[in-house]
Amino acid sequence: MDFTAHLVAINAFPKGSTASRDEDVFTIDGIAYDLSDINDEDIATPRGIHPFIGDITRVDGILRGALIWGYDLDLGEDEYVDEHPDFAPGNRGPYIRDGQSGAPSEDFTLDIRRAPDLRAQGLSLGRVQAKAAMTAWINALTGAIQNQYPDVVQKGWTEEEAMALAFRSSTETPAQLATLTADGLARGRTPEQHANRILEKAHMFHNVAAQTRRLWLATDSALDAVTDPRGFDAVLSGAIEQATPLAKAYGLL
């Protein structure tokens, strides 16, 4: 039995992911997930708490799905590769090693449906899974910025930027000046310093958003153009390789 997985790497705490398998039972971070009920030409939708992204399929005995994979924050890239050689860039080896099963998941279930034409649909399903994996990876990456702030603060970013721009052009209203003064005081800054800081962060976020949007558009188009299911992994790997320098530059990896 083989399992083909798209790995969606995210920052993890307190340690990176571990995985092993015993036939159709996959143990991920110590919890066992039994996929043995998925027969050939089945589509299974995971339910409950689990690390899978999207549906899991089996065609010609091969299970295919996407997994969230935690990257060890305590290790630099070189150290991580030393301790997790299967995760080395470009390594196509067995990320999931053979081994004994862990404790069964208590709430993991599968909604399984038959798809007699699944083999013919394989390319389409592979495309959906690859797109889901890419979207999840991008969300995890940009979440490194957004998750630093409460939702209510994020909702005010556009208004905050407009306020800082008005201050810089000396067109701020009394209410805007009062808000800048109070918020700056909370940070130990003058209104001018606080406005400058707002605009610096806004500029960075707009750059990240623009480059992420272009990466997603290009990757989505490339996935649409794939004609062989084996090509999806190459497209995803290329997109992640392209995004990695940008992510590191902004402290996202």
Note the pLDDT of residue 142. 80
Distance CA 53, CA 193 (A): 43
Note the pLDDT of residue 184. 95
Note the pLDDT of residue 4. 66
Question: Which residue(s) pair with 11 in the sheet?
Answer: 71
Triad 18, 23, 26: Cα angle to 5°? 30
Note the pLDDT of residue 127. 86
pLDDT in tens, the chain (253 residues): 466 666 666 665 456 677 788 888 888 888 899 999 998 888 899 999 888 888 898 877 888 888 877 765 555 555 545 555 544 444 433 345 555 666 788 889 999 988 766 666 667 778 888 898 888 888 887 877 777 888 888 889 999 999 999 999 999 999 999 999 999 999 999 999 999 999 999 998 898 889 889 999 999 999 999 887 778 888 988 888 888 887 777 766 6
Note the pLDDT of residue 5. 65
Note the pLDDT of residue 222. 94
Domain boundaries, the chain: 1-116, 122-253
Task: Say if CB 108 and CB 46 are below 8 A apart.
Answer: yes
Note the pLDDT of residue 73. 52
Note the pLDDT of residue 21. 80
Note the pLDDT of residue 90. 43
Note the pLDDT of residue 179. 95
Task: Say if CB 17 and CB 29 are below 8 A apart.
Answer: yes
Note the pLDDT of residue 7. 65
Q: Model pTM?
A: 0.54
Task: Say if CB 59 and CB 31 are below 8 A apart.
Answer: no
Note the pLDDT of residue 15. 61
In the chain, the N- to C-terminal Cα span, in Å, equals 34
